[in-house]
C-alpha cells in the first residue's frame, strides 16, 4: 500500500458512520505494522479530537501490541536466554517507532570493541577490568542520578544512544555483553538495586545452593555497573541485605535468568512512567508484564518483585574498581 493510500484511509477514520470506521480499521489492520508511523503522526496532529484519538489508540494498540507479543513469543521459543533481545522488545513496547535494527547494530559494534580487547587467558578480575575500561573509560558510559525516575534510562536503546542509564539499564547492557562473550556473569535480583555476579563454572553448570544466611557458593564476587563496574565483595552484599532485614539466599543475591530481568525491567519502566504522569502508558506496560508472566510459567523458576525503583539506589553499595 502506497503512503498516499494509507493517509487517505486514515482521513476516513473521522467519518461519523461506525460502519465506515470499521471497514477502514480492518483495511489498516490488514497492512500490519507498516502503517504505524502514519497512524502515530496523525494521532499527534489530531490530539484535540477525542473520538479520533480513541480510534487511533485502538488501531495503534492492536497493531503494535500484537507485534510486540509475537516478538516476545519468539524470544520464549528460543529459550528466553538473551537479555538484550528481551530488553529490546520491552523498549519496542514502550516506543512503537524504535528502530530495533539500528539498536542491534550499535550493540554489535560495542560488543566487537570489547571482544578485541579480551583474552581467554585473562583472570576473572582482568576480564571485568576490560569491560569496565571499554564501557566507562573509552566509550564514556555514565549513570543517571537525577532525582525523578526516567523510564528511558532503563531502556537499552536509550542507554546505547545516550550512554547513560539507571542500574537496570546499565546492568542489562553490561550483562548482555558478558553473555555474548561467554563470560560467566549473571544478573542478580538484589532488592532495590540490580547488580551482577561473576560465578565459577561449577556453579554455572550445577547450580549448587548455599547454606542459609550465606551468599551462594558459586559467586566469586559482585559487580555494580551503576558505579562504573565496581567490584563488590560478598560480605558487602550480605550486609546490605541485613540492613533490609532480608535473608542472604539464592533468591536475593544469587544468579537470576533473563526472564526475571525482563520482568523487573517492565516493572521499572512502568514505575517511571507512572511517576512522570503517563498513567495510560504505565498500565500498558503492566499489561505487558501479565503477558510475560503467562509466557514464563515454564521458563522462569524464580519469582521476583517488579515494582521497584532501581533509578536512585546504589549509594549504599561500595566496592573497589
Q: Poorest-confidence range of 20-34, 150-164, 167-181, 228-242?
A: 20-34
Q: What residues does 4 pair with on adjacent strands?
A: none
DSSP string, 249-299: SHHHHSEE-HHHHHHHHHHHHHHHHHHTT-HHHHHHHHHHHHHHHHHSTTT
CA distance 95 to 285: 11
List, for residues 54-104, the tens digit of each pLDDT value.
888 888 888 888 899 999 999 999 999 999 999 999 999 999 889 999 999
Categorize the per-residue pLDDT at 321 as very low, low, confident or very high, splitting at 50, 70 and 90.
very low
The H or E element that residue 203 is part of is helix 201-206
Q: What are phi and psi of 92, to 5 degrees?
A: -60, -35
Averaged pLDDT for residues 24-29: 87
Q: Which long-range contacts (CB under 8 A, 24 or more apart) does 184-187 make?
A: 185/223, 186/255, 186/256, 187/83, 187/255, 187/256, 187/257, 187/258, 187/260, 187/261
List, for residues 138-191, the tens digit of each pLDDT value.
999 999 987 778 999 999 999 999 999 999 999 999 999 999 999 999 999 999
The SS3 of residue 52 is helix
Averaged pLDDT for residues 227-252: 93
Which grid coordinates belong to 95? 516506543
Quick check: 9 and 28 in contact, CB under 8 A?
A: yes
Which grid coordinates belong to 191? 532488592
**Who contacts 221 (Cβ-Cβ below 8 Å, separation ≥6)?**
124, 125, 197, 198, 231, 232, 233, 234
pLDDT at position 207 is 46
Averaged pLDDT for residues 107-122: 95
> The pTM is what?
0.84
pLDDT at position 253 is 92
Amino acid at each position: 500500500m502506497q503512503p498516499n493510500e494509507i493517509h487517505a484511509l486514515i482521513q476516513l477514520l473521522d467519518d461519523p458512520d461506525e460502519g465506515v470506521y470499521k471497514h477502514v480499521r480492518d483495511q489498516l489492520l490488514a497492512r500490519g505494522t507498516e502503517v504505524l508511523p502514519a497512524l502515530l503522526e496523525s494521532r499527534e496532529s489530531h490530539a484535540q479530537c477525542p473520538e479520533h484519538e480513541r480510534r487511533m489508540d485502538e488501531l495503534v494498540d492492536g497493531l503494535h501490541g500484537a507485534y510486540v507479543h509475537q516478538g516476545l513469543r519468539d524470544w520464549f521459543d528460543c529459550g528466553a536466554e538473551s537479555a538484550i533481545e528481551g530488553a529490546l522488545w520491552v523498549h519496542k513496547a514502550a516506543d512503537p517507532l524504535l528502530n530495533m535494527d539500528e539498536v542491534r547494530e550499535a550493540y554489535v559494534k560495542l560488543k566487537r570493541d570489547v571482544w578485541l580487547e579480551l583474552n581467554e587467558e585473562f583472570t576473572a578480575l582482568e576480564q571485568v577490568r576490560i569491560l569496565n575500561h571499554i564501557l566507562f573509560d573509552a566509550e564514556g558510559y555514565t549513570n543517571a542520578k537525577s532525582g525523578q525516575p526516567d523510564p528511558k534510562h532503563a531502556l537499552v536503546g536509550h542507554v546505547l544512544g545516550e550512554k547513560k542509564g539507571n542500574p537496570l539499564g546499565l546492568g542489562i547492557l553490561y550483562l548482555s555483553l558478558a553473555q555474548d562473550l561467554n563470560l560467566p556473569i549473571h544478573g542478580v535480583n538484589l532488592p532495590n538495586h540490580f547488580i551482577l555476579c561473576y560465578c565459577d563454572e561449577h556453579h554455572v553448570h550445577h547450580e549448587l545452593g548455599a547454606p542459609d544466611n550465606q551468599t551462594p557458593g558459586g559467586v566469586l564476587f559482585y559487580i555494580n555497573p551503576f558505579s562504573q563496574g565496581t567490584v563488590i565483595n560478598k560480605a558487602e552484599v550480605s550486609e546490605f541485605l541485613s540492613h533490609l532485614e532480608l535473608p542472604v539466599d539464592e533468591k536475593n543475591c544469587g544468579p537470576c535468568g533473563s526472564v526475571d530481568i525482563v520482568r523487573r525491567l517492565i516493572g521499572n519502566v512502568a514505575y517511571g512512567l507512572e511517576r512522570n504522569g503517563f498513567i495510560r502508558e504505565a498500565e500498558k506496560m503492566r499489561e505487558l508484564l501479565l503477558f510475560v508472566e503467562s509466557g514464563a510459567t515454564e521458563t522462569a523458576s524464580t519469582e521476583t518483585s517488579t515494582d521497584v525503583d532501581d533509578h536512585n539506589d546504589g549509594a549504599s553499595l561500595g566496592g573497589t574498581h
